[in-house]
Structure formats: C-alpha cells, structure tokens
Amino acid sequence: MTELTQPAPAVGTAARRHLPDAPFLVAARGGVPARVPVWFMRQAGRSLPEYRALRANTSMLAACFDPELVREITLQPVRRHGVDAAILFSDIVVPLVAAGVDLDIVPGTGPVVASPVRTTAGVAGLPVLDAEQVEPVAEAVRLLTAALGETPLIGFAGAPFTLASYLVEGGPSRNHERTKALMYADPATWHTLLDRLADVALTFLRAQIDAGVDAVQLFDSWAGALSLKDYREFVLPHSAKVLGGLADAGVPRTHFGVGTAALLGAMREAGADVVGVDWRTPLDEAVRRVGDDVVVQGNLDPAALFAGDDVVRREVARIVDEGRAARGHVFNLGHGVLPETDPAVLTRVVELVHGLTPGR
C-alpha cells in the first residue's frame, strides 16, 4: 500500500502532481489502467470506527474547517481499504458556511438554514464566496497531496440545484416543493440564484484545484427530482457554468446525481468527463443512453454490501462486466456508504475489483 508519511510542503507552494500511472486518473481520462480503479462515495466517515472515535467531540462543520482533522479523516479509508483515490472530507454546504450563510449541520437531520432564501431580495442578499474564506480546506488539500504519495485526491462541490434546494427549503426535503415553486413561478429570480450558486461552487472547486487536488466531482444529489425538460431549462446552464469553468484546469471532472437515469445525457452535456451512475441504472444501459465514448462511474447498490459475500462477489463481477461497454470505468457504489456498513466488506470489494481485468 502507498506510504502516507511524506512531509508536507510549505503553505502556498502546492503544485500539480504528476501521476501518469494512477489507475483512477487513467480510467477517468478514458485510458486502460493497470487495474479497475475503485473508490467509494462517503468512504471517509461514519462507517469507520476510527472516524467515529476521532469525531467524538467535534461537530461536522468544525471538522470540515480543521485542516489536520480533514487530513486524517481523508486518509483513514485509504489506509484501511487500499482504494485507488481519496476524496476530500468535507460537505457540500461548506462553501455556503464559509461565505457567511447562517447554516448548521444538525445530526440526524442534515443541513438546516436559519433564514431560507425564497425571494428576489433574499437572493440579492446572498454573500459572495472568496477563495480566502475556504483557505482551511485548501490547506487540508496541501497536507493531503503531500501525504498520499501515488494516490490521487478528489475534490468536490455541491451543484447549484442541490445547493439551491437546501437554501430554499431551509433543509432536506422529500418533494422539493418550495424549490420547484420558486423555479416555476419566478424563473428570473431562480436563474439569478443558480447563477450565484454556480459562482460559489466554481470558486470552491478552483480553490481545491489550485491547492492540488487531482480530480473533482460535482454532486447534484437532488437533481433526480426533476424532469428532463425542467433540468435542461432550469439547471443545465448553471451546472455547465461550473464544469465548463474548470475545462482549462487539466483535471478529470465527474458529475453525479441520484435518481438521474432520465438526465444522464444532459448531465454529460454539462461538461463532465465522467458520468456517475446510481444503482438504479445498469452501466451498459447508461452507456446506451449517453454514448459509448463516455467514462462511467458506479454503481453497486450500497445495500448489497449487507447481503453476504456471494452476493457481493456476483454484483461486483456483473458491474465490472457492464462497465466494459464504456470507454472507461471507475468502480464505485451507486450512492454513499451507509453508516452501518461493515468496513471489512468494503475492503473485500476493493480486493474483488482489483482481481478483475480492466478495459473492453
């Protein structure tokens, strides 16, 4: 396994690492890697006992702004599982908090906004994010790129629609009714809101890239609540602003949403190099919808990890086989690791994936 003890560079001297043989980066760019790469969404966090011990007396947001803590939490699954990429420990609402939005992550609930944004005046009053406000995150990236050796680091941000849903609803929502009401009733205010949030996401991702991340992922967790027509009209231009704004950065860009089978083609049009697919759509079917020159990521059902080794082995083999229809395949879950998941099963998945042959 990669050694994780290299000394950190001085603050402000981070440079792009050259990792030409890293399986994750090779696959994400459409090449044939030495092995099928695998990492897990939410691999750093609540399924690991070492994470729970480390976070015992620290709130989620406090942890996200503590560079040393972010470094350690991000490294934990790399040490334990031997995954092919680390993903920065953070949260999609971090840039909103950094900018000055009154927001907290409430255990058992999720992000809760003190003053929901539902009017033109509310949108106009949203603060602008400056890269200096997420300097603790950038510092964590610099610490991590020094520690990870040959393992790539993925940065991420929440997509404009998902951030808007939290701001408009005031917290998590099942039906996104207030969000859709604003979208339909006042398109001008809606597009202004999403344009502002695209700037927030772009600034946050740029700060991570400038600090040294090797790839990025844009999470549109709630986009699956939309029809294809509404996605194209109300969301696609703003996600394209984020991903297009990173086109010159030289890092692979992944776009992922939940329940987005009908949206996959449009999500790729937004500028993704890699299209993340949730567990509901087989990878070969996703390729038929998007085009066989695409790189796909996914898509083991997180619940399958509770079904025993025979099921896990069968499902891993099936997904890798379906992924051969694409130009490239990064193995992942179809959503995040569930809190009750046995870490040993995740390690087993990594072993199984690495034992299969990559490429078409």
Give the pLDDT confidence score for residue 357 in this predicted structure. Answer: 87
Of the candidates 16, 29, 35, 55, the residue annotated as catalytic is 55
For residues 228 and 114, give the distance between their C-alpha atoms in angstroms, rounded to a whole number.
31
Q: Are 271 and 240 in contact (CB under 8 A)?
A: yes
Question: Residue range 57-75: average pLDDT?
Answer: 97
Is 50 exceeded by the pLDDT of residue 8? no
Phi, psi of 35 (to 5 degrees): -150, 160
Q: For the residues 289-295, what does the mean pLDDT come to? A: 92
Residue 330 has phi, psi (to 5 degrees) of -110, 115
Catalytic entry in 42, 118, 142, 253: 42
Mean pLDDT for all residues in the chain: 94
CA-to-CA distance for 39 and 346, rounded, in angstroms? Answer: 10
What is the reported pTM?
A: 0.94
Pairing of strands 215-220, 103-106: unpaired
Q: Which of 16, 17, 46, 313 is catalytic?
A: 46
Please count the other Cβ atoms lying within 10 Å of the Cβ belonging to residue 104. 17
**Catalytic: which of 16, 17, 91, 232?**
91
Question: Active-site residue 130, yes or no?
Answer: no
Is there a catalytic annotation at residue 166?
A: yes
**Domain boundaries defined on the chain:** 23-354
H or E element, residue 254: strand 253-257
Residue of 51, 71, 142, 166 with catalytic role: 166
Q: Of 106, 209, 217, 218, whose CA–CA distance to 161 is shortest?
A: 218
Of 16-20, 222-226, 253-257, the poorest mean pLDDT is in 16-20
Spatial CA neighbour of 347 closest among 154, 77, 74: 77
Q: Quick check: is 42 catalytic?
A: yes
Which pLDDT belongs to residue 360? 72
Other Cβ atoms within 10 Å of 129 Cβ, number: 23
Confidence of residue 15 (pLDDT cuts 50, 70, 90): low
The pLDDT of residue 184 is above 80: yes
| pLDDT, tens digit, 9 for 90 and up, residues 116-163 | 999 999 999 999 999 999 999 999 999 999 999 999 999 999 999 999
Q: How confident is the model at residue 269 (pLDDT cuts 50, 70, 90)?
A: very high
How high is the pLDDT of residue 303? 98
Question: Which fold would CATH assign to domain 23-354?
Answer: TIM Barrel (3.20.20)
Q: Would you state the pLDDT for residue 108? A: 85
For residue 10, pLDDT over 80 is answered with no
pLDDT higher than threshold 90 for residue 230: yes
pLDDT at 7 over 80: no
